């Protein structure tokens, strides 16, 4: 990472001074079932101070309050960032499935656990905690019969249906590690993740449905499994009932297998530091990295942020629009609401199908109290027009935003038009690797500023670091890269099978700190403003994609010699993928080649990673040592040719003018 690539571009200080501060609306308190968990900002400050000064006391108390332990822990935390050996609640034992299901089912078996909204408006159903316990137990039995043991990984390739949640919990019930692959990934991406995690069992559906379209999930799995000889079983849930290809001995129907087994199986007691799940995120090399989260710490992060950020109370109905294939779905569709014993909405569709009122219909129909979604969806819905929002939605109390910084005008629209100035907006900042929110307002507590992630969550000790000197910048009104000084329970412990990579990516960049990879500013009141990635990652619709991964997919094409991918701002998706491609001699640069390259990325990674624009250029701007200067490409795309700096150090400076001409002529078309 060069210094030029690291340095955040946008000054934060001036805009932060001119921003309105929004206090919690009075109507929020009027519609509250009781009162928020905290009595205002001073209460937060007092708890936050304790969480930083006496973390063992703070987290020990919270872990015993929010989780049920089979065996109590003696040691709250051991290890450090320097050594990469952080461990939480060391001697403690517990089970994730028990904490999410059993303890609530025993108390009130008829209470709704999952509110399923199918892609078709009439296809949903509600699953109680008692029913969830039975379904999870049956599937856990099936997995055991398939030879899945404690510590084995199970790959899940599932659409947004209740069975996805059941599969999570059945794995954790028997101590298996779930590795969920987003059902929009291609067969190649799925294959790579199955092989890396050494999964021997895959769970999928015959087909999936999304936005009125049918997705051939089983076909994609079959294609992947051609190159996964170690997979012994593929369990298939009937979603559409269509006929699908079948491999006898390997493929099994979910429904038929579950009917064979009893409706209760005892949960396996797990050590707090046993792995709970792997989630593959884009790495700065082409190879995806399996971020590993452990049981006790991760569950505590999910429960604590669910409780305080979303102000979840016993009677609430929680709706997170994220997919379970990403960390947002893991933590806030599955774990946080179920740990707290409330109903979670599992939404199979898209915000635009069958029309732009779909989210608002669901919220009104199910009396949703908290709604959590990415700015991409909000931009789409804002553009569709306010006439779609002629809904009461009178129970809505907290509106959350996730995945990327939210623009101030979208924030205001969310607050005024969707929330009718009655709900509190929480703009949450976190990552796959943090496990749960790290900088965020607390529902009903924190005064907010549109566009700011506001203040750190309990136990999070942020630092702004000068990317050039590597020194921490103290005080307010500062800008730099964001890091954290102290470990917290829900942080990822390693990258599966690549601990050195974990250390080099997060903990060795600035010794003694966790490096987020994001630029940030701290304003005069200590509020944080997230600036987005300072490394080679593009954020499309809240999905973090590695530029190296997309470049690797492009280079697979026989005509491509080199490729460089950069993200540029896009009104709808936040960022869009733009690719610069140098082709081998003897190949013709034409529109068909560009189409082929887009298809190559769709096949290799998935449709969501497809480049919005491809520029075919004779060469890429490189240093004499061969490093591609993506920063120059980003500046050219942004129309900032006058800010390229000294290009004379490039191996061939004339390339820059050619690229500028190529981009200009493409924009004129």
Report whether 113 contacts 128 (CB < 8 A): yes
Mean pLDDT of 365-369: 98
pLDDT tens by residue, 70-121: 999 999 999 999 999 999 999 999 999 999 999 999 999 999 999 999 999 9
**Domain topology for 538-668:** GMP Synthetase; Chain A, domain 3 (3.30.300)
Asked whether residue 135 carries a pLDDT value surpassing 80, the answer given is yes
Peptide bond into 354 cis (omega under 30): yes
The token pair at 256 is 């038929």
The token pair at 40 is 């205002």
pLDDT given for residue 7 in this prediction: 33
DSSP per-residue codes, 158-225: --SSHHHHHHHHHHHHTTPEEEE--TTS-HHHHHHHHHHHT-SEEEEES-EEETTEEE-HHHHHHHHH
pLDDT given for residue 283 in this prediction: 53
Directed axis angle between helix 55-66 and helix 295-309, to 10°? 80
pLDDT given for residue 570 in this prediction: 84
pLDDT given for residue 542 in this prediction: 73
pLDDT tens by residue, 210-246: 999 999 999 999 999 999 999 999 999 999 999 999 9
Q: How confident is the model at residue 649 (pLDDT cuts 50, 70, 90)?
A: low
DSSP lists the bridge partners of residue 650 as: 623
Same fold, 26-122+269-516 and 538-668: no
pLDDT given for residue 494 in this prediction: 98
Task: Convert 513-558 into a string of H (helix), E (strand) and C (coil).
Answer: CEEEEEEEEECCCCCEEEEEECCCEEEECCEEEEHHHHHHHHHCCC
pLDDT given for residue 624 in this prediction: 61
The token pair at 71 is 């065996």
216 vs 183: CA distance, rounded Å: 10
* Percentage of residues in the chain having pLDDT higher than 90: 77
Beta strands in 324-468 (DSSP E): 343-347, 370-373, 398-401, 424-427, 462-465
pLDDT given for residue 441 in this prediction: 98
The token pair at 128 is 């109680």
| Domain at 26-122+269-516, CATH from 3.40.640.10, 3.40.50.12780, 3.40.50.300, 3.40.50.920 | 3.40.50.12780
Report whether 254 contacts 163 (CB < 8 A): yes
559 vs 583: CA distance, rounded Å: 6
Closest of 557, 547, 620 to residue 578, by C-alpha: 547
The burial class, CB within 10 Å (0-12 / 13-18 / 19+), for 329 is buried
State the maximum Cα–Cα separation within the chain, in Å, rounded to a whole number.
Answer: 72
Mean pLDDT of 563-572: 86
Asked whether residue 360 carries a pLDDT value surpassing 70, the answer given is yes
The token pair at 629 is 């200067």
Report whether 580 contacts 655 (CB < 8 A): no
- Edge-first strand order for the sheet with 472-473 is 472-473, 462-465, 478-484, 514-522, 528-533
Give domain limits for the chain: 26-122+269-516, 538-668
Mean pLDDT of 365-387: 93
The token pair at 124 is 């949903």
The token pair at 248 is 């006898």
What sign does the dihedral 603-288-619-517 (CA atoms) show? positive
Report whether 641 contacts 667 (CB < 8 A): no
Closest of 652, 590, 580 to residue 621, by C-alpha: 652
Q: How confident is the model at residue 274 (pLDDT cuts 50, 70, 90)?
A: very high
Residue 622 has what DSSP assignment?
B
């Amino acid at each position: 990472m060069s210094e030029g690539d690291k340095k955040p571009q946008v000054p934060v200080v001036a805009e932060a001074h001119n921003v309105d501060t929004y206090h919690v609306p009075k109507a929020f308190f009027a519609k509250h079932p009781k009162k928020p968990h905290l009595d205002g900002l001073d209460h937060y400050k007092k708890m936050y101070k304790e969480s930083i000064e006496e973390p063992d006391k703070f987290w020990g108390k919270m872990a015993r309050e929010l989780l049920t332990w089979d065996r109590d822990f003696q040691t709250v935390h051991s290890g450090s960032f320097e050594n990469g050996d952080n461990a939480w609640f060391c001697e403690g034992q517990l089970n994730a499935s028990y904490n999410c299901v059993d303890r609530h089912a025993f108390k009130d078996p008829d209470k709704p656990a999952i509110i399923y909204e199918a892609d078709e408006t009439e296809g949903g159903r509600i699953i109680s905690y008692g029913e969830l316990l039975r379904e999870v137990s049956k599937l856990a039995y099936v997995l055991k019969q398939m030879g899945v043991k404690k510590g084995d990984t199970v790959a899940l390739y599932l659409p947004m249906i209740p069975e996805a949640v059941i599969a999570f919990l059945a794995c954790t019930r028997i101590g298996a590690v779930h590795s969920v692959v987003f059902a929009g990934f291609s067969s190649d991406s799925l294959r790579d993740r199955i092989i890396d995690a050494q999964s021997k069992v895959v769970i999928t559906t015959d087909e999936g449905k999304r936005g009125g379209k049918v997705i051939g999930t089983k076909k994609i799995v079959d294609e992947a499994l051609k190159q996964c000889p170690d997979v012994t079983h593929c369990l298939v849930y009937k979603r559409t009932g269509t006929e699908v290809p079948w491999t006898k001995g390997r493929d099994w129907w979910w429904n038929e297998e579950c009917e064979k087994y009893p409706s209760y199986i005892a949960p396996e007691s797990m050590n707090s530091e046993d792995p709970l799940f792997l989630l593959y995120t884009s790495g700065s090399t082409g190879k995806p990295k399996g971020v590993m989260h452990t049981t006790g710490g991760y569950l505590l992060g999910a429960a604590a942020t669910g409780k305080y950020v979303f102000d979840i109370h016993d009677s609430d109905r929680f709706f997170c629009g994220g997919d379970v294939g990403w960390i947002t779905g893991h933590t806030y569709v599955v774990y946080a609401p179920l740990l707290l014993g409330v109903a979670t909405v599992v939404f199979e569709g898209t915000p635009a199908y069958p029309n732009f009122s779909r989210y608002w219909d669901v919220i009104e129909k199910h009396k949703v109290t908290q709604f959590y979604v990415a700015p991409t969806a909000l931009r789409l819905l804002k553009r569709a027009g306010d006439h779609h929002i002629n809904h009461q939605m009178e129970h809505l109390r907290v509106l959350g935003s996730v995945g990327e910084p939210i623009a101030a005008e979208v924030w205001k629209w969310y607050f005024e038009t969707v929330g009718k100035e009655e709900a509190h907006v929480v703009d949450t900042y976190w990552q796959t690797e943090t496990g749960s929110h790290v900088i965020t307002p607390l529902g009903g507590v924190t005064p907010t500023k549109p566009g700011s992630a506001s203040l750190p969550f309990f136990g999070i000790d942020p630092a702004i670091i000068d990317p050039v000197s590597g020194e921490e910048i103290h005080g307010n009104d500062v800008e730099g890269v964001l890091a954290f000084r102290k470990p917290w329970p829900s942080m990822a412990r390693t990258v599966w099978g690549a601990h050195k990579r974990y250390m080099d990516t997060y903990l060795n960049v600035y010794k003694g700190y966790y490096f987020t990879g994001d630029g940030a500013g701290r304003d005069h009141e200590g509020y944080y403003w997230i600036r987005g990635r300072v490394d080679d990652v593009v954020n499309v619709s809240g999905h973090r994609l590695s530029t190296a991964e997309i470049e690797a997919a492009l280079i697979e094409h026989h005509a491509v010699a080199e490729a460089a991918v950069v993200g540029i701002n896009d009104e709808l998706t936040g960022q869009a993928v733009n690719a610069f491609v140098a082709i081998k001699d003897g190949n013709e640069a034409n529109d068909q080649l560009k189409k082929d390259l887009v298809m190559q990325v769709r096949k290799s990674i998935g449709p969501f990673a497809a480049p919005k624009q491809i520029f075919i250029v004779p060469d890429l701007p490189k240093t004499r040592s061969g490093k591609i200067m993506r920063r120059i490409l980003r500046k050219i795309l942004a129309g900032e040719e006058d800010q390229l700096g000294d290009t004379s150090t490039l191996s061939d400076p004339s390339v820059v003018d050619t690229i500028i001409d190529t981009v200009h002529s493409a924009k004129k078309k």
